[in-house]
Amino acid sequence: MSQDQILFACLQDSCYFKLSGELRYTNASGMDDLIEQLFEQEQPACARVVVDLNEATFMDSTHIGLLASLARHCQQHDLPKPTLFSTQPEINELLLGLCLDDAFDFVQQATNPSIDLTAVQSEANTDNEQGLMILRAHEALIELNNKNESEFRSVVDLLKQQLK
C-alpha cells in the first residue's frame, strides 16, 4: 500500500491510527479533526491509542506535531502512553530526533492488523484554518522538550505573526 492515507478504527475502547504514504500538512486536517473529536469530552473515546507508521514513507513536521498532540491528549486524560509502530529507518530517525520516544511506547516491528479501518478524509480548510492547524501541531511539538522548543520556536512565531 503506497497510497497516501490515514486510516482509523475504534474497537473496544482502543483507537487505531494507520498512516501511510507521504504525510504532509496538505492531508493533515482530517487527522487533526479526528483527534479533537476523540478527546473533546471529559471521558475520551479512547482508553488506549495505537499508531502504525510502518507504511509511512515521509512525514512533515505538521504530522509529527499531530502525533505529539495525540500523546499530550492521552497524558492529559491519564491514559497510558500511546503505542507507535514503525519499521521505517528514515521515519524512526526523525521521530527519535524529535524525542517522540519520550511521549510514545516506540515499537520497531511490523504489524498485521486484522481490524477494519476506515479512511479519514481531510476537509477543505480555509488558509486561516489550515494555518491554525499547523500552528497547533507545532506548538504541541515544542511542548515535548527544550530541543524542539529551540528548533521550532521561529516557525511558531512566524505562524502567529502571519495569522494575526
Q: Looking at the domain assignment, is residue 134 inside a domain? A: no
Q: Looking at the domain assignment, is residue 78 inside a domain? A: yes
What's the pLDDT at 2? 46
Mean of the pLDDT values across residues 109-116?
Answer: 85
Q: Looking at the domain assignment, is residue 105 inside a domain? A: yes
Question: DSSP characters for the chain?
Answer: --S-EEEEEEETTEEEEEEEEEE-GGG-HHHHHHHHHHHSSSS-S-SEEEEEEEEEEEE-HHHHHHHHHHHHHHHHTTPPPPEEE---HHHHHHHHHTTHHHHSEEE-S-----S--EEPPPP---HHHHHHHHHHHHHHHHTT-HHHHHHHHHHHHHHHHHH-
pTM attached to this predicted model: 0.91
Q: Looking at the domain assignment, is residue 59 inside a domain? A: yes
**Who wins on pLDDT, 130 or 125?**
130
Q: Looking at the domain assignment, is residue 152 inside a domain? A: no
The domain that contains 111 carries what CATH number? 3.30.750.24
Domains contained in the chain, number: 1
**Who wins on pLDDT, 4 or 122?**
122
What's the pLDDT at 1? 41
pLDDT bin (cut points 50, 70, 90) of residue 132 is: very high
Q: Looking at the domain assignment, is residue 151 inside a domain? A: no
pLDDT bin (cut points 50, 70, 90) of residue 56 is: very high
Q: Looking at the domain assignment, is residue 77 inside a domain? A: yes
Residue-range definition of the domain harbouring residue 24: 5-124
